[in-house]
Amino acid sequence: MRYLVAAKMHTEDSENFPKAPDARSEPGCSTGAIPLVKYCMITPARDEEQFITGTIESVLCQTIRPLEWIIVDDGSMDSTRAIIDRYAERYTWIRPLRRENRGFRSRSGGVEAFLDACSLLQSRDWEFLVNLDGDLTFAPDYFEKCFEHFHNTPRLGIGGGTIYDKVGERVQFDKAPSFHVRGGTKIYRRECWEKLGGLVCGLGWDTVDETKANQLGWMTQTFSSLELVHHRRTGAVWGTWGNAVNDGEADYIVGYHPLFFSLKCARQIFYSPYGIRGLGIAYGYLRGLVRRTPRIGDRELRAYLRRQQWRRLLGLSSIWK
């Protein structure tokens, strides 16, 4: 069953905020079959007054709570900051971080804010690091179930749940390859995180990290049985065309093989809005080419990605299966 938290109005007094049950009185406390888990979370949020309360309440209801949660107000122009501050006053493990308004929304999904917060984490003995979007809701045992996957699969380096976009009164499956973990749901195992050596700060970062992880021998996986509801459809702030252009430019930056990319564009003919997304992706890729947008500097990683794409086209084993 998909779990939607009915967000409280942000004008409510802090005294009415939900209280953590006894099972969560200690960081990493588990009520399930896995041992103590220590994890930290970072949430970049810009103009999320409609949804950030639901996300915070989802975390407050978790059977395993984080050691520390930094929620970054990434230059919001609405009441996002005030909502974060009120929760931080009540829960000491929630810490607000304010970034100045740069005047526009980042095309790279707030990775700059995420990296800023990483350097401010106070907990040193964490085992997992979570990048969580500020417009998601999920079941109370979501993180507990995620960590069961990590516990059962030692080679799993990056994981996260499956996104369902909320469209009107219904939710719609956001299809993605099983190895691709959406940027706003990523959970990094510490050993994998340290091997990655950080994240690319720009478009394509959430492809580079998991491709690099696979290159280094780690597994990356979206957990099909664990669902998160995305209350703002992926890329909705950019519109259909703008989101497609961003995706195409990201594909150029990370080094997609031209044949693989061409077939990806062609497939969009069969999906609504028919043809528009394919044209937008192609435009973004060609724009990057014409502008000579810098690609990721790791040539070996680009070559690895292209080999995997060729194997996918030839029906051989690859990161796709």
Whether 205 and 129 map to the same domain: the answer is: yes
Which candidate, 200, 183, 307, 192, places its Cα nearest to that of 234? 183
Whether 64 and 189 map to the same domain: the answer is: yes
Backbone dihedral angles phi then psi of residue 156, each to the nearest 5 degrees: -75, 115
Average pLDDT for the chain: 87
- Three-state DSSP at 225 gives strand
Whether 227 and 247 map to the same domain: the answer is: no
Domain count, the chain: 2
* Averaged pLDDT, 170-197: 92
| pLDDT tier at 27, thresholds 50, 70, 90 | low
Enter the tokens of residue 236. Answer: 């909705």
Give the pTM. Answer: 0.88
Cβ–Cβ under 8 Å, residues 165 and 171: yes
pLDDT at 145 over 80: yes
Whether 93 and 204 map to the same domain: the answer is: yes
| pLDDT tier at 168, thresholds 50, 70, 90 | confident
Query: Which are the contacts of 44, defined by CB distance < 8 A and separation ≥ 6?
Result: 72, 74, 109, 110, 111, 113, 114, 117, 131, 133, 134
Whether 270 and 158 map to the same domain: the answer is: no
* Averaged pLDDT, 266-290: 89
pLDDT exceeding 90 applies to what percent of the chain? 73
Residue 173: the pLDDT is 83
Name the domain boundary from 172, 201, 234: 234
pLDDT exceeding 70 applies to what percent of the chain? 87
Whether 211 and 243 map to the same domain: the answer is: no
Higher-confidence position of 263 and 273: 263
* Structural domain for 267, as ranges: 238-313
Rounded alpha-carbon distances, angstroms, from residue 223 to 156, 166, 186, 287: 11, 19, 11, 34
Residue 169: the pLDDT is 75
Q: What is the pLDDT of residues 212-268, one digit of tens each?
A: 999 999 999 999 999 999 998 766 677 889 989 999 999 999 999 999 999 999 998
Whether 145 and 164 map to the same domain: the answer is: yes
| Residue 101 belongs to domain with CATH number | 3.90.550.10
304 vs 321: CA distance, rounded Å: 15
Total Cβ atoms within 10 A of residue 122: 10
Which candidate, 60, 52, 93, places its Cα nearest to that of 76? 52
